[in-house]
Amino acid sequence: MQRHLDNKIKDHFSKYKQILILLGSRQVGKTTIIKKLFPDSNYFLVDNEPIKKIFESYDIEAYKTIINKRYKNIIIDEIHLLSDPGRAAKIIYDQLNDFNLIITGSSSFHIKNKTSESLAGRKIDYNIYPLTFSEYLCQKETETDLNFNIFNKIINSKNNLSNNSYKFDIENILENILIYGQYPYAINYPADKKYILNFVDSLIFKDILELNLIENKSLAKNLLKLLALQIGNLINYSELALNLKADQRTIKRYIEIFEQSFILFRLYPYSKNKRDEISKAPKIYFYDTGLRNAIINNFSSIDLRPDKGALFENFIIAEMIKQNSYLDKIFNFYYWRTKQGSEIDLVLEGDNKLFGVEIKYIKNRVNKAFKNRYPEAELKNINSRNFY
């Protein structure tokens, strides 16, 4: 099972002594990657109560009783379940210098809030996301080699993007992804609605709500459903608060927790302080369309969906964010809209380049208003026939 991050993670300790931290949501493949790349290691799963009890002693002598000196690597899986994960990691890193420390966590929000001070200068983070389109094709054995075709098409293509011919049914694969998503489970449990619904319930309620980051579970669940119904739309915090009978501060905090837990992300407007450009209000997207569909319990076929365009837009933007991260690129992601209604779905700024990307399921003309406003920008039109 190839993943884009394999080589970076495998080579980590040839470049760095710092702790390798692999962050990502539940079931995204963290444990699989770590066990594959570091097979001969001391492996500890914090979800195991006796193991958790030892690590929560925060006593180096207790730690030594379970560490086999024959193995140079120490893996602590699901470290976010400890009351103070940063303290445990710091003790091992500082007092067991002969070992390489690898830790995984499902909630970056939880880990970052408890390790930001104690592990300063001692860690390097890697984010892992649901499968990219290329990883999905490789795991389905549709293709043999990983690529960054979608990212490269937008960033490196000098001409208008043309439709391609493929040796596989890309239309059918795209539909499966838009409906059931790109988590690794989608490979072994294709179109299994029951499995996906159970997975989402576990992801949200076990990994987030049970970490005591959220006080009102009912409010969090209803907020997530409202957000799932608004992908690609501007978020109105006051409207959400009014509908849910909650205060805006709580709404914003819960959204930040969902974001830091790799469930969703916000896209903010691109603006150079032009008077007629919309400012502040972000758009909402999910890292996985299957997870989003499960939250609203809608697995209808793509041709029957009024949100078909929004799903495709979500897929492309999430794909670009994943690939940008794995490639260590420095592009910032935005959308653009004027008060008169001119709009670009995705704006990429970085490397002294500016791209305006129109994303439509069916081919459409590019809105040239953005180019008129920013002549240095390159315009691209992405649709379901030319995206890969």
As given in the structure block, the two tokens for residue 70 are 């024959």
Residue 269 in 3-state DSSP? strand
Mark which of 127, 143, 167 sits at the end of a domain. 127
Residues 109 and 169 in one domain: no
Residues 157 and 211 in one domain: yes
Residues 213 and 117 in one domain: no
**Eight-class DSSP state of 234:** B
pLDDT band of 163, cuts 50, 70, 90: low
| Domain coverage including residue 349 | 133-382
Mark which of 127, 160, 186 sits at the end of a domain. 127
Domain count for the chain, please give it. 2
Q: How far is CA 250 from CA 85, 177, 244, in A?
A: 26, 32, 11
Residues 348 and 202 in one domain: yes
Half-sphere exposure (CA, 13 Å, Cβ side) for 53?
3
pTM above 0.75, yes or no: yes
Domain-embedded: residue 1: no
Per-residue pLDDT reduced to its tens digit, 123-138: 999 999 999 999 999 9
Residues 338 and 371 in one domain: yes
pLDDT number for residue 116: 66
Least confident interval from 6-15, 50-59, 75-84, 155-164: 155-164
Residue 279, phi then psi, degrees to nearest 5: -125, 155
**Nearest CA to 19 among 105, 81, 82?**
105
- Find all residues with CB under 8 Å of 312, minimum gap 6, and list them: 178, 359, 360, 361, 384
CA distance 10 to 4: 11
Residues 224 and 364 in one domain: yes
Residues 231 and 364 in one domain: yes
Residues 210 and 188 in one domain: yes
Domain-embedded: residue 228: yes
The residue whose two tokens read 């193995």 is 71
Mean pLDDT score, 316-342: 94
Per-residue pLDDT reduced to its tens digit, 84-131: 899 999 999 999 999 999 999 876 666 666 776 678 899 999 999 999
Residues 168 and 154 in one domain: yes
Residues 38 and 184 in one domain: no
CA distance 314 to 179: 12
Mark which of 65, 97, 127 sits at the end of a domain. 127
Residues 82 and 104 in one domain: yes
As given in the structure block, the two tokens for residue 188 are 């072994």
pLDDT number for residue 160: 62
Residues 287 and 318 in one domain: yes
Residue 266, phi then psi, degrees to nearest 5: -110, 145
